[in-house]
Amino acid sequence: MKQSKSKLHTQNLSQSETRDEVIKGRRDFINSMALVGGSALIGVGCRPNSKEADAPPLPKVEDQHINSAHIKPGQLDDYYGFWSGGQSGEIRILGVPSMRELKRIPVFNRCSATGWGATDFSKALLDGKMSGDTHHVHLSYKNGTYDGRYVFVNDKASARLARVNCDTMEVDRIISIPNSQGTHGIFPQRHKTGYVFCNAEFRTPPINDGRDMNTPSRYGSMHTAVDGETMQVKWQVLIEGNLDLCATDYEGKYSFATCYNSEGGVTLEQMMGADQDHLYVFNIKNCERAVAEKKTITLGDSQIPVIDARGKDSPYVMRVPVPKSPHGVNVSPDGKYAMCAGKLSPTVSVIKIDILAAAFAKKISPRDCVVAEPEVGLGPLHTAFDGKGNAYTSIFIDSVMTKWNIDKAITAYKSSDGKTPNPIVQKLDVHYQVGHTNASMSETKDADGRWLIALCKFSKDRYLNVGPLHNENDQLIDISGDEMKMMHDGPTFPEPHDCVIVAKDLIHPSKIQSRRTPRFRMYEAWAKEDGVNLMKDNKVIRRKDGVVRIYMTSRAPNFGMRDFKVKTGETLQIILTNQDNVEDLSHGFCVSLHDVNFLVNANDTNSMTFKAGKPGVYWYYCPWFCHALHLEMRGRMFVEG
């Protein structure tokens, strides 16, 4: 309701008013809403549970903390949070610290609001697969921090990698990772937009065409290097174990993968058998050399060069022994250490990165690279950093966040009792069963120690009961002081698996659709074929291939065509260009009874293909509230027999 009102407000401005005035008008409107809403929010927004709703007002000290996380209406957040959407197959953008959900970016899913999955461009990218399981989101880097260009996200379900263009916040590429199942951990290089590494979690027969099905000893999994710029798969390393989480160093020398099934088991009991697993360290230069010197194989139909590194340490990969079934691996912002969380061991193994070269050269043993192994609690999964020498590990079974000091952990490891000084600074209860964690700018050299997020898998009693499927619970923790302080609960629809928190100055999306993406190159090629000017023409083109292309424009509150005529059973392609070059003025196109419904942003072109139904009149209309005469923004499709 609020949104449509504000859109109407904008439309009431006369045509001579400039875009800036339109935007200013909107801001004034928002500010006036803030005045109305503001007082109502004080004291209601952040009460932790119903018991306290009856209690007297919270003490002053608490109020101050609540205010630091509370972004008032009309005010902007300090950070963009990029959340993966888990089983929903999408990415979400949240404002941090408010935890307001700002956007959902459809990726591996069908989205009714935007038409993603049904529009021609997205359909081609998805290639018939309409579901996904996104776990890990990471942005492209330059010199150890985010460059604001791309977001990468994995699909564990169908072994894919997608890229979002941060200018438009839309997916521009989706690729399939060959020879892989369960593509799980991904991580881009941090010195520049180089490779994005993708780990396959599921071991399969290397050539998976029916052979070796019952010989798990021959199974393997892939560590894949994708070029983040071209989104081409460059090379793969075949490994005997299964690969879980992924990280890169800051210099472009190594990529890391945790391996929790060195046993090579296929049942749960077998996978947990051994007391020791590994952090795999891939030597990128050596892998590139093997590819250049063609010391590679190819598998099945794939032409991708594969380095067979199964079995034992080689110049390509080294196995650093760590306690059983490690999970997360995270590199500290100073680039010195890779933290390998124990999962089934209550420890985090701290691996010193600058001595890995000596281990590759066999001057020291791989295990010598472990310089600390603090006990952090039961079920450690992932580690974040504050840039001030502290690490924060999410502890699943204990439901706590453990703050520990990295230098103290290293000193303690060397000490006679292995425990002095005590590196544990604080444990904070989280609710409940925390999976991933991340801190503001934690995955960059500029970790700033302001906010920590605990992504909790269970919310149990934290929210009103909404039926069997409960919310996830993302908790916001203030880490700016000596002690962690819980600030906010953020309910989420399942299952934001992981997130990164990015300073707002690093992200600069366009406010009007940019027409410089692969999607527009496709439309420009079509228009050229058909001799049509996308921005101006309203034409029905009956092509030789039998497809009827209907090029149409929109400008509030009109479509460029009041009607058009087609025949039953014809394949129709509606290509709609929105001539309105006004911020926030989206239209859409919906054809009654034809399952056609898609969004066309300001200055955008989008299209969908469908078959004309039975003879009759079908209204097409604009489904986005765009104008006082929005309901009149429609036309008729005449379908003749």
Sequence-distant (6+) residues with CB within 8 A of 174 are 107, 108, 125, 126, 160, 161, 162, 163
The least CB distance from residue 473 to ligand RUQ, in Å, is 14
Residue 413: which H helix or E strand, with range? helix 406-414
The DSSP symbol for 181 reads S
Q: Which one of 41-49, 481-489, 495-503, 625-633 is the stretch in contact with ligand CUA (CB under 6 A)?
A: 625-633
435 binds, among ligand RUQ, ligand CUA, none (CB under 5 to 8 A by kind): ligand RUQ
Residue 247 or 550 with smaller CB distance to ligand RUQ: 247
Closer CB to ligand CUA, residue 440 or residue 597? 597
Query: Among ligand RUQ, ligand CUA, none, what binds residue 622 when CB lies within 5 to 8 Å by partner kind?
Result: ligand CUA
How is residue 605 written in tokens?
A: 């072109």
Least Å distance, CB 356 to ligand RUQ, is 23
DSSP strand pairing (499-503 vs 485-492): unpaired
Calpha distance 341→350 (Å, rounded) = 9
- Smallest separation, CB 121 to ligand CUA (Å): 21
587 binds, among ligand RUQ, ligand CUA, none (CB under 5 to 8 A by kind): ligand CUA
The CB-of-588 to ligand CUA minimum distance in angstroms stands at 7
Q: Tell which one of 324, 519, 549, 587 touches ligand CUA (CB under 6 A).
A: 587
* Closer of 80 and 624 to ligand CUA (Cβ): 624
Classified as helix, coil or strand, 526 is: helix
Smallest gap from residue 443 Cβ to ligand RUQ (A): 13
Partner whose binding site includes residue 308, from ligand CUA, ligand RUQ, none (CB under 5 to 8 Å by kind)? none
Nearer to ligand RUQ, 498 or 580 (CB): 498
Q: Which does residue 161 bind out of ligand CUA, ligand RUQ, none, counting CB within 5 to 8 angstroms by kind?
A: none
**256 contact, one of ligand CUA, ligand RUQ, none, CB 5-8 Å limit per kind:** none
Q: Which does 488 bind (CB under 5 to 8 A by kind): ligand RUQ, ligand CUA, none?
A: none
Q: How many residues does the chain have?
A: 641
DSSP 8-state secondary structure symbol assigned to residue 112: T
Identify the burial level of 129 via C-beta atoms within 10 angstroms of its C-beta, where 0-12 means exposed, 13-18 middle and 19 or more buried.
middle
Instruction: Closer to ligand CUA by CB, 557 or 613: give it.
Output: 557
Apex 452 CA angle, 446 and 453, nearest 5 = 125
Residue 624 interface partner, choices ligand RUQ, ligand CUA, none, CB cut-off 5-8 Å depending on type: ligand CUA
Q: Is the four-CA dihedral 499, 501, 504, 508 of positive or negative sign?
A: negative
Interface with ligand RUQ (CB under 6 A)? 135-136, 184, 327-328, 381-382, 435-436, 497-498
Decide if residue 622 touches ligand CUA (CB under 6 A).
yes
Q: Are strands 306-308 and 233-239 parallel, antiparallel or unpaired?
A: parallel
636, HSE (Cβ side, Cα atoms, 13 Å):
7
Buried-exposed string 369-402: b where 16+ CB fall within 10 A, e elsewhere: bbbbbbbbbbbbbbbbbbbeebbbbbbbebbbbb
Q: How far apart are CA 199 and CA 502, in angstroms?
A: 24
Distances (CA, A) of 324 to 86, 283, 328, 384, 409: 26, 23, 13, 21, 20
Amino acid at 221: S
Cα–Cα distance measured from residue 443 to residue 250, given in angstroms and rounded to the nearest whole number: 10
Spatial distance between the Cα atoms of 96 and 81, rounded to a whole number of angstroms: 6
What would the two tokens of residue 301 be?
């139909």
Sheet containing 233-239: order of strands: 183-188, 195-200, 221-227, 233-239, 306-308
Per partner kind, with CB cut-offs from 5 to 8 A, the member of ligand RUQ, ligand CUA, none near residue 630 is ligand CUA
What pairs with residue 550 in β-bridges? Answer: 540, 574
- CB of 217 closer than 8 Å to CB of 199: no
Q: What is the DSSP string of 546-591?
A: SEEEEEEEEETTEES-SEEEEETT-EEEEEEEE---STT--EEEEE
Give the Cα separation of 457 and 496 in Å (integer).
Answer: 9
Choices 215-223, 357-365, 439-447, 622-630 (CB under 6 A): range interacting with ligand CUA: 622-630
Scanning 208-216, 218-226, 590-598, 620-628 for contacts with ligand CUA by CB under 6 A, the matching segment is: 620-628
Between 549 and 630, whose beta carbon lies closer to ligand CUA? Answer: 630
436 vs 630 by CB, closer to ligand RUQ: 436
Which residue's beta carbon is nearest to the bound ligand RUQ?
Answer: 435
Judged by CB, which is closer to ligand RUQ: 381, or 566? 381
- Residue spans of beta strands (DSSP E) within 361-433: 370-372, 380-385, 390-395, 400-405, 424-429
Closest contact distance (angstroms) between CB of 558 and ligand CUA is 9
CB of 328 or CB of 623, closer to ligand RUQ: 328
Choose among ligand RUQ, ligand CUA, none what residue 82 binds, the Cβ cut-off being 5 to 8 Å by kind. none
**Binders of ligand CUA: how many residues, by CB under 6 A?**
8
Asked whether position 203 contacts ligand CUA by CB under 6 A, the answer is no
- Minimal distance in Å, beta carbon 180 to ligand RUQ? 15
Q: Residue 64: phi, psi to the nearest 5? A: -60, -40
Q: Residue 4 or residue 143: which is nearer to ligand CUA going by CB?
A: 4
Among 406, 630, 637, 639, binds ligand CUA (CB under 6 A): 630
When CB distances are held under 5 to 8 angstroms depending on the partner's kind, the choice from ligand RUQ, ligand CUA, none that residue 135 binds is ligand RUQ
Give strand pairing partners of 451.
478
Nearer to ligand CUA, 351 or 637 (CB): 637
Answer for the pair 331, 348: CB distance below 8 angstroms, yes or no: no
* 626 contacts ligand CUA (rule: CB under 6 A): yes
Query: What would the two tokens of residue 138 be?
Result: 């990471």
* Stretch near ligand CUA under the rule CB under 6 A, chosen from 209-217, 408-416, 417-425, 618-626: 618-626
Q: Closest distance between ligand RUQ and the C-beta of residue 203, in Å?
A: 17
Query: From the CB of 436, what's the least distance to ligand RUQ, in Å?
Result: 5
Among 590, 633, 637, 639, binds ligand CUA (CB under 6 A): 633
Determine, following the binding rule CB under 6 A, whether residue 7 of this chain makes contact with ligand CUA.
no
Q: How far is the CB of 605 from ligand RUQ (least distance, A)?
A: 36
Q: Between residues 486 and 633, which has the closer beta carbon with respect to ligand CUA?
A: 633
Which of the listed partners (ligand RUQ, ligand CUA, none) does 80 bind, with a CB threshold of 5 to 8 Å by partner kind?
A: none
**Sequence-ordered strand ranges (E) for 194-242:** 195-200, 221-227, 233-239
Say whether residue 316 binds ligand CUA (CB under 6 A).
no
Contact flag: residue 624 with ligand CUA (CB under 6 A): yes
Using rule CB under 6 A, residue 556 touches ligand CUA? yes
In the complex, the residues that contact ligand CUA under the rule CB under 6 A are 556, 587, 622, 624-626, 630, 633
